[in-house]
Amino acid sequence: MLNLIIFGPPGSGKGTHSIKLVEKYKLRHISTGDIFRSEIGNKTTLGMRAKSFMDKGELVPDEVVLDMLFSVMDRYSDAKGFVFDGFPRTIVQAEKFDEMLALRKMPVSLVISLDVNEDELINRLVKRGIESGRTDDTEEVIRQRLNVYNKQTKPLLNYYKKKKLLQSVYGIGRIDEIFEKICSVIENFASV
């Protein structure tokens, strides 16, 4: 089973590359952002609760995220593996996630970090907000999300580095070139 975590700040290309990885390696894509947007779109209680945090650029509480994530994973028990896009986001989430994966005998195979500088991230997200109409892609909210990422999520780099699971890929350039680098890393460091 191939379980990949695509890691990086908002706007680094996690979603774009996750979709391509799903197609290439026949994996299931699990994006907490997509799960939340689906819940928000369906105006569920959980969705409205998540939206209140997301609109302020804050993280959704761990217990809500983990319950939703494993519910989706359990629906795909026959999967060849998963691409986790945008999760985990904190050390506590990563530790709880590792515990829950260990119970299912499904360890993380590899963590790929997409490295993109802040100016590029802001440009990408503002453009995405204009094109898609996303209310959480204003420059003020983007800067808040990047601050939250730097304080709460970036420490995961060391967490996964200590576990010898982290590989970094430069995330600026043509999408196909970046994807080729990601595939090379996967094929060199994970059992495919």
Q: Within a 13 Å sphere around the CA of 81, how many CA atoms are in the beta-carbon half?
A: 21
Of 14, 20, 51, 124, which residue is the catalytic one?
A: 14
**Does the annotation count 89 as an active-site position?**
yes
Of 128, 143, 154, 161, which residue is the catalytic one?
A: 128
Is 166 in a helix, a strand, or coil?
Answer: strand
- CB atoms near residue 167 (< 10 Å): 20
Determine the Cα–Cα distance for residues 164 and 95; give it in Å rounded to an integer.
15
Of 37, 96, 134, 161, which residue is the catalytic one?
A: 134
**Does the annotation count 134 as an active-site position?**
yes
**Does the annotation count 49 as an active-site position?**
no
Of 20, 51, 124, 145, which residue is the catalytic one?
A: 145
Of 20, 51, 89, 181, which residue is the catalytic one?
A: 89
Assigned token pair, 189: 């460091």
**Does the annotation count 104 as an active-site position?**
no
**Does the annotation count 128 as an active-site position?**
yes
What is the phi/psi pair of residue 69, to 5°?
-60, -50
Catalytic center residues: 14, 89, 128, 134, 145
